[in-house]
Amino acid sequence: MTVATLIATACSSPEPKPYGPVPSEAQLAWQRMEINMFCHFGPNTFTGAEWGSGQEEETIFNPTSLDCRQWADVARQAGMGGIILTAKHHDGFCLWPSQFSTHTVADSIDVLRRFTNACREDCVKAGIYISPWDRNHPTYGTPEYNTVFASMLREVHESYGPFFEQWFDGACGEGPNGKRQEYDWTLFNSSVLNINPNTIIFSDWGPGCRWVGNEDGRADETCWSTVEDNCWIPVEADVSIRPGWFWHADEHPKSVDELMEIYYNSVGRNGLLLLNVPPDDRGRIPAEDSAVLVAFRAERDRIFSQDLTQGGNARGNHLRGRRYCASNVLDTAYHTYWAAASTSDTLYIGTPDPILFDVIMLQEYIPLGQRVAALHVDCWANGGWVTVAEATTIGYKRLLRIPPTCAERLRIVFDSTLAAPIINRIALYNTQAQ
């Protein structure tokens, strides 16, 4: 085969086909947000409870200086693209004047309106939590309640939306009449998606995203975005910045180091981090919480703003096509990638000089599916390859922390894959750099 033929073949290689289920455009945009804010706010903010009884007087909800613009500003400064507000928790109290309940803010402040307006003014996406459990509504525990709840969903999404995410808590406790509710999830989901098909619906099992399985903000070491090989339902890892979900005067926020550990174990394991930051009884995010969030953003920027592979080179064992060459993994454009020629291909990274690093970032190009099931990373030292990291899944993003390592050559070996790997980013960082 002539050189001209080789070049022509390399330039005309067909685009890789997707493998298995892939994210929708809305799911991809959601995953790339990486961190969002949760705001638990309601009667519990004033009573000190975590789960209200539903019998609280409506007047107990009385924020003295509600400022949803401040919430949005804090979220933006913290590097969060969206906020999800608990517009109705298990107590049934609605933060909007719903025509389907008497337990609402009808005689005080339409918090949901102020919240959605503030998000739009500050270019932050608005999301909504509406618990299907309702400890106040008289129809809860009967088939009629499903119709009531679906009506609430349509009311909110038509009058206040669109929302980037609809959060459904899976709680289904005893109602005041001693009955449990058989939720009509098909009705609930369609009530949302018929109005805005791009809303990401969260529940234990989706369909837009699913619960990670704990409230610690921690995804498993092995984290697939696929479910039963036929659905793309990525994980969302929720955790509170404070011990409780609602604000309590005697509690304080986690440290930056604790939040960084959560980040590595959520976003760094193919999840999205939903960090709860509860407003206080004034209706504002406390200063100590906002200070920690700004410092958390600064720490992420300090570590991840300097990719030590820049100026380096990358190659694979085989050339699939110039358009999909290995050097694509070193640029910052999301939609460029290296497409391996086979399931057993290896990716090599070189830098002009030895570099000191302790974090390895890998990203699969998930619009074409999640493929990698196991890998290891080797560095060249003392005339041979030495393994410095091992992992299972990658997905949207994987952050591997290793002891400080100095090297100028490394390789990523894909030990087990479902299809030929497609990688759109490799980066190296040093957490100790100033």
The predicted-structure confidence for 331-381, as pLDDT tens digits, reads as follows 999 999 999 988 989 999 999 999 999 999 999 999 999 999 999 999 998
Look at residue 106 and tell me if it is in a domain.
yes
The count of domains in the chain is 2
Look at residue 9 and tell me if it is in a domain.
no
Name the domain boundary from 304, 330, 357. Answer: 304
The overall average pLDDT reported for the chain is 94
Q: What is the CATH number of the domain that holds 415?
A: 2.60.120.260
Look at residue 285 and tell me if it is in a domain.
yes
Q: What is the CATH number of the domain that holds 151?
A: 3.20.20.80
- The reported pLDDT for the residue numbered 119 is 98
- Do 420 and 321 share a domain, yes or no? yes
Confidence of residue 321 (pLDDT cuts 50, 70, 90): confident
Look at residue 2 and tell me if it is in a domain.
no
End-to-end CA distance of the chain: 51
Mean pLDDT across the stretch 253-270?
Answer: 98
Look at residue 129 and tell me if it is in a domain.
yes
- Do 283 and 151 share a domain, yes or no? yes
- Is the CB of residue 297 less than 8 Å from the CB of residue 77? yes
Look at residue 187 and tell me if it is in a domain.
yes
List the beta strands (DSSP E) in 366-420.
372-381, 384-391, 398-417
- The reported pLDDT for the residue numbered 171 is 83
- The reported pLDDT for the residue numbered 433 is 87
- Do 319 and 300 share a domain, yes or no? no
Confidence of residue 178 (pLDDT cuts 50, 70, 90): low
- Do 295 and 323 share a domain, yes or no? no
pLDDT tens digits along 95-152: 999 999 999 999 999 999 999 999 999 999 999 999 999 999 999 999 999 999 999 9
- The reported pLDDT for the residue numbered 104 is 98
- Do 100 and 76 share a domain, yes or no? yes
Look at residue 17 and tell me if it is in a domain.
no
- Is the CB of residue 285 less than 8 Å from the CB of residue 85? no
- The reported pLDDT for the residue numbered 3 is 40
Biggest distance spanned by C-alpha atoms of the chain: 83
Look at residue 12 and tell me if it is in a domain.
no
- The reported pLDDT for the residue numbered 172 is 84
pLDDT tens digits along 14-41: 889 999 999 999 999 999 999 999 999 9
- Do 275 and 326 share a domain, yes or no? no
* Rounded-to-integer distance, Cα 418 and Cα 395, Å: 12
Mean pLDDT across the stretch 208-222?
Answer: 97
Name the domain boundary from 251, 278, 304. Answer: 304
Q: Which residue range(s) make up the domain with 231? A: 25-304
Q: DSSP character for 110? A: -
Asked whether the predicted pLDDT for residue 49 surpasses 50, the reply is yes
- Do 217 and 263 share a domain, yes or no? yes
Name the domain boundary from 304, 330, 364. Answer: 304
- The reported pLDDT for the residue numbered 5 is 44
- Do 289 and 324 share a domain, yes or no? no
Asked whether the predicted pLDDT for residue 294 surpasses 70, the reply is yes
Asked whether the predicted pLDDT for residue 175 surpasses 60, the reply is no
Confidence of residue 177 (pLDDT cuts 50, 70, 90): low
* Rounded-to-integer distance, Cα 19 and Cα 225, Å: 13
Q: Which of 309, 303, 267, 263 is nearest to 427 (CA)?
A: 309
* Rounded-to-integer distance, Cα 237 and Cα 291, Å: 22
For the chain, give the percent of residues with pLDDT over 90: 89
- Do 54 and 203 share a domain, yes or no? yes
- The reported pLDDT for the residue numbered 176 is 56
- Do 77 and 106 share a domain, yes or no? yes
Mean pLDDT across the stretch 194-204?
Answer: 97
- Do 333 and 252 share a domain, yes or no? no
- Do 321 and 299 share a domain, yes or no? no
Rg (CA), the chain: 24
Asked whether the predicted pLDDT for residue 7 surpasses 50, the reply is no
Q: Which of 242, 240, 239 is nearest to 288 (CA)?
A: 242
